[in-house]
Amino acid sequence: MMFFTPLLSLCVFVINSFPLWSVYLYIQEEAVYGLTEVLRDEIRNARLVANPGCYPTSIQLPLVPLIKAKLIKLSNIIIDAKSGVTGAGRGAKEANLYTEIAEGIHAYGIKGHRHVPEVEQGLSEAAESKVTISFTPNLICMKRGMQSTMFVEMAPGVTVSDLYQHLKSTYEGEEFVKLLNGSNVPHTRHVVGSNYCFMNVFEDRIPGRAIIISVIDNLVKGASGQAVQNLNLMMGLPENMGLQYQPLFP
């Protein structure tokens, strides 16, 4: 990496080889993590940006603001996430064959998914303290789309309404992150083919706990769309340029 960076003007990494926690990016002091709505100013002035993974995007967009505001506890964060088959890549793997994945759902990466260190680092930086999560990803029989369901414990005296209002104020005016009204549940159909993240907060039946649900298109906001959004920022272009169309493949 060191030998070619002087030749680059602007670069956004959208590959698994260079996540935030990678030692290769830490060699480059100017590298910035590309969670656009959270680190917009840093991205705007960056030369190197590490684009977040799909699961980290869907998890951190709701949790980072709540952690920064100390509205939720740093312990007992449980995340159940589900992704379309494209979330597992395009490799010719037996587990991704139609006859293997059709009409079913299965968990994978149970002992340690590759995105866990990325999520934990982002949340830990927001908390200025070590954060660990319980994370189970699941592959479901659809092409694209991702839902993350987060179970969190609220800080003393905090209500679900407080969480909702804080997320509302955080993302008010944001084009691509939307907090749904009332009891509306985010659905992957709401965001497929788009750069949007839809989310909402619900009261858990267990006192003191809340459930947060977010949905994205893993191939757009979780990958190429956020990369374009970041590159637009870096080049001084309108942030939504090229992101208002829906050319879908697959």
How many Å is the Cα radius of gyration of the chain? 18
Residues 90 and 222: their CA atoms lie apart, in Å, by 15
Residue 54: active-site member: yes
What is the 3-state secondary structure of the chain?
Answer: CCCCHHHCCCEEECCCCCCCCCHHHHHCCCEEECCCCCCHHHHHCCCEEECCCHHHHHHHHHHHHHHHCCCECCCCEEEEEEECHHHHCCCCCHHHCHHHHCCCEEECCCCCCCCHHHHHHHHHHHHCCCCCEEEEEEEECCCCCEEEEEEEEECCCCCHHHHHHHHHHHHCCCCCEEECCCCCCCCHHHCCCCCCEEEEEEECCCCCEEEEEEEECCCHHHHHHHHHHHHHHHCCCCCCCCCCCCCCCC
Among residues 11, 54, 141, 197, the one annotated as catalytic is 54
Residue 152 φ/ψ, nearest 5 degrees: -130, 155
Read off the tokens for 208.
């003191």
Report the catalytic residues: 54
